Amino acid sequence: MTEHRRLSRRTFLRNTGMSGVALTIGLCWPVLGRNASKIIHAHEVTDAATELMSWISIDSAGMVTIFNHRSEMGQGTWQAIPQIIAEELEVSMDQISIRSAAAAPKKYGPQPQEGSFSIRGWYQQLLRVGASAREMLIRAAAQQWQVDVKTCYAENGQVIHRGTGRVLAYGKLVKAASQLTPPADVTLKARKDYKVIGKPLHRNDAVLKTNGSAVFGMDKQLPGMLYAVVERNPRFRGKVKSFDDTAVRAVHGVTHVFKVQRDVFGLLFEGVAVVANSSWAAMQGRKKLKVEWNDEGFEHLDSEQLYTRMREDLYKLPPSAAFDTALKATDASIEAIYEAPYQSHSCMEPVNCTADVKDNSITIWGPIQEANWIQGNLSERLGIPIENVHVHMTFLGGGFGRKAFTDYPLEAALISKEIKAPVQLLCTREDDMTMGPFRAGAMYRCRGGVTTAKKIGALQIVSASQYISVGQLEDSIPQALPINGGNSAGLAEDYYTSIPHYSFGGISTRSPIPTMWWRAPGANVDLFASESFIDELAHLAKEDPLLFRKRHLSSARYQAMVSQLAAFSNWDTREPNTGWGVAITECFGSRVGQVVKVSRGKEKGVKVDKVFAVIDCGWYVNPDIIRAQVEGSIIMGLGAAVHHATHFKEGKAVEENFNTYPMPRIHEVPEIAVHIMENNESPGGVGEPGLPAFAPALCNAIFDLTGKRIRRLPFALEDV
């Protein structure tokens, strides 16, 4: 991994461990108000006026090194990004190695791993870098042969002359190519000519994660490193009144015990750090710690109180006379209340971070989704120049938004600063599941009506939930509900043109519990209400639920996807004694339709037999990665719908581990079939859009089988 510093060609070679001659180029955006990007050599970067963005290096052996400026948390950047480069560079995947880059926003641009942005935000730049290197190598070969460059082409890591069949490997050309000026513009391949993109190639990080050589956060080791755990107030906003560490310091290996803080959206949450020369000693020492907490000045709420407050908040927004008039004009109308729970992120790898703070520098390593934000936060909080803050991303054992947050790197850095030594901050499973922030619970008041033409004439969805912001814990301000205004996260865009009168709005429910984004933010809860209620409107109109949606999703792209979903799931030949439910979502640039098939269990309840998913993510790289992400999203959605939720008792999180927050077991996972749409649309996200549609599709299927509407999550399948 490189450190964040001014990049020179010599520095690049030293940091990458390369020797000899290399062709090193990247994409840059010059500063001083100029917007046009261009491809440049690494040795051209002599000052802050130009910084490389996406970049590669080819050495004299023909090996290609790519620095991945995005984190890898299972979503596949370590495979998809090299696959893009390999396509335009005309090399095989075994000629490419990939390494993680440190946080450097001037060099790499935005580096957050959120919003399913890695491919949809960067594919054009990556294609250009690969194509530019290829063209420079072709020009170098043509000059050496003294032939027209148009008579040469690249293939499999070498340049070939059509007229004579002469061949030069890339490694033989890098010295000459490195003296050439990168092309101002390049012609990219047509999709029909792709050899690597679009192919289900095996992931190159699978071997590392199988043989144990992959480096995750807790694998990081530093000379003289100590280990820390923190006893935090279980009521989140409580303060440390006093603590007794007498018994703690008697534990062999314990070196420090002191108060520490972590920042959560501007509020400082307190705890007591126990530091030792081993993780075991730190954890054993914490068990003997006695802390007296000051829990005054804020509410200690139970879950029941939270949902009562949300339900009351649903009716605090001012009425919309225009919508009420539109609703009365429909042929038939209904109203329903939906409820979604608080959730822990519960990544398989608990939160952790290694920090080494010096007098004028900070270096951290860990499972980090949002390197730039964390770098800026550490610089501001500790008063260290941002260029001296080095944030290194390891592999993540799941992120789901939790590891984009700044609290745990700051806590690790503050501990390192206090003890004047490198430290690895560890969170146990219990810490990880109870300290928050959580996905907020939510309630929805849905009202709607249908016309004699079997279409939605009016739709209103009002939400009450904790908002994600600095002011999330303060008194909320109601938002007005303008007619034809607002949106519902994850709802298909076509609804906004096909429904003549719609109204969306919400109110932030007051609570001291910290909340934040969770995989497919917004859509993961909003769509449960909106697509379940649209199903209710379909039945109110006495219409087939899929046909009802197709009537409202009128764009050619949606018509194609819905038709494919019907054919893929055999919707029109549904078997008797089964329930079939459908839901459709649009988020992060992709569209996903899901059909869930259920039947009666052998003894009681219902069982999920199969899930059909059709994803339209436009231009894509690797279909195996897409299928894996959709399958994983569905399984995560299954757990959130029927297995787990975080509850609160007197202001404390109740569920502490997987015995009370159960994950789906392998025998509970239904068969999942995934179809990927083929078109020429711009790429959309893949890691998040597959999750929101599952819960409403499942509940709609249960209604189809049993006539019972599920409006509250989670629920037990065996109790239906």
Quick one: 548 and 562 in the same domain?
yes
Q: Are residues 569 and 670 in the same domain?
A: yes
116 and 230 assigned to the same domain:
no
How far is the C-alpha of 656 from the C-alpha of 672, rounded, in Å? Answer: 30
Instruction: For residue 369, tell me if it sits in a domain.
Output: yes
Q: Do residues 421 and 498 both lie within one domain?
A: no
In a domain, 120, yes or no: yes
Q: Do both 106 and 37 map to the same domain?
A: yes
618-646 residue pLDDT tens: 999 999 999 999 999 999 999 999 999 99
Question: Of how many residues is the chain composed?
Answer: 720
Q: Which domain holds residue 485?
A: 304-342+438-719
pLDDT winner (highest mean) among 7-16, 302-311, 486-495: 302-311
467 and 602 in one domain?
yes
259 forms bridges with which residues in the sheet?
A: 272
Angle at which helices 77-89 and 123-145 cross, to 10°: 30
What's the pLDDT at 54? 53
Q: Are residues 473 and 380 part of one domain?
A: no
Element (H, E) at 142: helix 123-145
Residue 281 has pLDDT above 90, yes or no: yes
Helix (H) / strand (E) containing 322? helix 321-328
Band of the pLDDT at 28, cuts 50, 70, 90? low
Where is the domain boundary, 434, 469, 491? 434
Same domain, yes or no: 643 and 681 = yes
- Whether residue 103 lies inside any domain: the answer is yes
Let me know: does 357 contact 417? Beta carbons within 8 Å: yes
In a domain, 74, yes or no: yes
Specify the number of domains making up the chain. 3
State mean pLDDT over 346-350: 96
Q: How confident is the model at residue 1 (pLDDT cuts 50, 70, 90)?
A: very low
Percentage of the chain exceeding pLDDT 90: 73
Query: Is residue 286 domain-shared with residue 326, that is, in the same domain?
Result: no
Residues 6+ apart with CB under 8 A from 408: 262, 351, 352, 353, 366, 425, 427
- pLDDT given at position 440: 95
pLDDT at 490 over 80: yes
Q: Classify residue 219: in a domain, yes or no.
A: no
pLDDT band per the 50, 70, 90 thresholds, residue 65? confident
Which alpha helices (H) appear in 480-542, and where do they start and end? 495-498, 523-540
Candidate from 61-65, 228-232, 283-287, 475-479 with smallest mean pLDDT: 475-479
> What digits encode the pLDDT tens for the residues 246-275?
999 999 999 999 999 999 988 899 999 999
pLDDT score at 288? 98
In a domain, 668, yes or no: yes
Separation of alpha carbons 210 and 554, rounded Å:
46
Checking if the pLDDT of 611 tops 90, the result is yes
Q: Which helix (H) or strand (E) holds 625?
A: helix 623-642
The residue among 434, 452, 484 that closes a domain is: 434
Place of tokens 């209103």: 460
Tokens of 381: 């909080």
CA separation for the pair 22, 543 (Å, rounded): 65
Position 49 pLDDT exceeds 70: no
Q: What is the pLDDT of residue 675?
A: 98
**Domain identity same for 229 and 129:** no
**Cα distances (angstroms) measured from residue 602 to each of 618, 638, 642, 718:** 41, 20, 18, 10
Tokens 């095996």: give the residue: 202
Q: Which residues contact 155 (CB under 8 A, 6 or more apart)?
A: 90
Of the two residues 51 and 301, the one the predictor is more confident about is 301
SS3 112: strand
- CATH number of domain containing 359: 3.30.365.10
Q: Specify which residues 249 forms β-bridges with.
A: none
- Kindly state whether residues 563 and 451 are assigned to the same domain: yes
Last residue of a domain, one of 434, 459, 478: 434
Residues 80, 99, single domain; the answer is yes
The pLDDT of residue 36 is above 60: no
